[in-house]
Amino acid sequence: MVRTAFRSFTKNLEMTELRWMPEDGFSIGRLRIELLSGLTVALALVPEAVAFAFVAGVNPLVGLYAAFIVGLITALIGGRPGMISGATGALAVVMVALVAQHGVEYLFATVVLMGILQMIAGVMQWGKFIRLVPHPVMLGFVNGLAIVIFLAQMSQFKVPGTIVNTGHGMSGGEWLSGMPLYLMLALVGATMAIIWVMPRITRAIPAPLAGIGIVAAVVIGFGLDVPRVGDLASIQGGLPSLHIPMVALNWETIEIILPYAVILAAIGLIESLLTLNLVGDMTNKRGGASQECIAQGIANTVTGFFGGMGGCAMIGQSMINVKSGGRTRVAGIAAAVFLLLFILVGSSIIELIPLAALVGVMFMVVIGTFAWNSLTILRKVPLTDAFVILLVTVVTVYEDLAVAVVVGVIVSALAYAWNNARRIYSKTYTTPEGARVYQIQGPLFFGSSEGFSELFDVNGDPVEVIVDFADSRVVDQSALQAIEAVAGKYESVGKRLQLRHLSRDCHRLLTKAGHLMVDSDDDPEYELAVNYQVRTGILGGH
């Protein structure tokens, strides 16, 4: 099974486009756009990586190394050109308890195991199940994530050095007030205005990069006293080096790291695959889910062996890249390389950039990410869909993305099952020979099996009864049990039940009970969800 899955994945990988150049071909102008997009993303990655490292309770370089390694590997072999990956807050909030209780070495081991689990998910092609996420869940996801990105910027409006790590995340801090606050707000507003106006003047330079550059030049030129990147922490460092996690290789270690690894792998893949779909909608690309799982797994495994905190796709930076014109793998690779250069040789310059400029960029990302049309359609869509949108948004903000998506999918599935359970009914008529015919309408499955049983008048029906499934579909074992139960009731009062338009497998199964007469002359062949149970004999003893 694993070998078959691996061969299938390899075939899909060979067919998947590893795009280095856009469809309109290579040009110097395109290369310039890709490199500038990568530079813009790299600048936006720095404060995010540092802040998430603080959240997880590790050294800022641990977050920066993760952003570089994860970003580089996923840019090279990921499932969607244009996506940006790195250290994220969704993972950091899970890591903080592990680091506080067991230390950073256990974090590195956990990240390695997390990557292995993600690679297994990719080889088994489990990424395809992301297609089961309904559109209302996607809307709630982008809205919730936009709010999370917005709230994450609030820490930049606090006095540097006053925020402390409580062991459960960053907390406290004194808010800016008076002139420092007004100046910060003015610079944020100026950055946002430049980003809004720039595309109307020229597209030669990505608007976010122009906003950062102009505001940074004003702040440095006039020596304005505002929070800067260097106030968060120094980003100076060397090349990441190979580091085997210093943990004991025994079952006790596995018991510690496995639960965290499973949670981190699930959160990382869910956020990455949802971001993949979102970027795909913006760039008109499809597919690549299994390849993205493999890429994320390889990236995190390597990161764990090089002292990084792991990561996944970053929707904010991905939006910056796509809207700055990045469409190929060159932009993602450039972002990772620029980030490494910042660490090695450019830290003194990058640390001078005002945080207000980067906050302004992220605020524009929030505006562009939030699905504003969802506010107008809430009154137009079914009540269940509106509820799911709001529920996923709230859970994403107050809990985490993985929980929000799972909750949204479950609620949507239950709503779908309930709606279909109420759709089953029958049209009845009597044949010239005196037989009563029940034409079943709607799907027959676990949710509608009870309603199906209530359709029949066992005592009032004639001796010959026909149940026609031409306009219905038998979906699961509960449906088969319901059919057999009805047949048993008719048999107990000496009446005969005929079933028409069932699949071959289904009526062969029911015939085994010995009390069903199945008219198979006009039965079409169609696949059922119960085929597996039929083949293996798992049918409640029948």
Closest CA to 71 of 330, 429, 267, 369: 330
Lowest pLDDT segment from 3-17, 155-169, 266-280, 407-421 = 3-17
Q: Tell me the average pLDDT across 62-79.
A: 94
Could you read off the pLDDT of 305-352 as tens digits, one per residue? Answer: 999 999 999 988 998 999 888 888 999 999 999 999 999 999 999 999
**Cβ neighbours of residue 243 closer than 8 Å, sequence gap 6 or more:** 108, 305, 306, 307
Asked if pLDDT for residue 241 goes beyond 80, the answer is: yes
Query: For residue 507, what pLDDT is reported?
Result: 60
Query: For residue 1, what pLDDT is reported?
Result: 46
Q: Tell me the average pLDDT across 439-457.
A: 90
Whole-angstrom distance, CA of residue 112 vs CA of residue 430:
68
Whole-angstrom distance, CA of residue 361 vs CA of residue 317:
10
Asked if pLDDT for residue 99 goes beyond 70, the answer is: yes
Closest CA to 240 of 489, 67, 107, 83: 67
Q: Tell me the average pLDDT across 479-495.
A: 88
Q: Tell me the average pLDDT across 486-490.
A: 89
On the 0-12 / 13-18 / 19+ scale of CB atoms within 10 A, 21 is: middle
Lowest pLDDT segment from 185-194, 415-424, 433-442 = 415-424
- Tokens 């198979």 identify what position? 520
Q: What is the 3-state secondary structure (H, E, C) of 464-519?
A: EEEEECCCCCECCHHHHHHHHHHHHHHHHCCCEEEEECCCHHHHHHHHCCCCCEEE
Whole-angstrom distance, CA of residue 22 vs CA of residue 20:
7
Q: Tell me the average pLDDT across 376-391.
A: 90
Query: For residue 53, what pLDDT is reported?
Result: 86
- Residues 229, 235: contact at Cβ < 8 Å? yes
Asked if pLDDT for residue 364 goes beyond 60, the answer is: yes
Q: Fold for domain 423-536?
A: Transcription Regulator spoIIAA (3.30.750)
Confidence of residue 476 (pLDDT cuts 50, 70, 90): confident
Asked if pLDDT for residue 465 goes beyond 60, the answer is: yes
Query: For residue 250, what pLDDT is reported?
Result: 93
Q: Which of 22-31, 103-112, 261-270 is the most confident on average?
A: 103-112
Confidence of residue 274 (pLDDT cuts 50, 70, 90): confident
Question: Per-domain residue ranges for the chain?
Answer: 2-10+39-412, 423-536
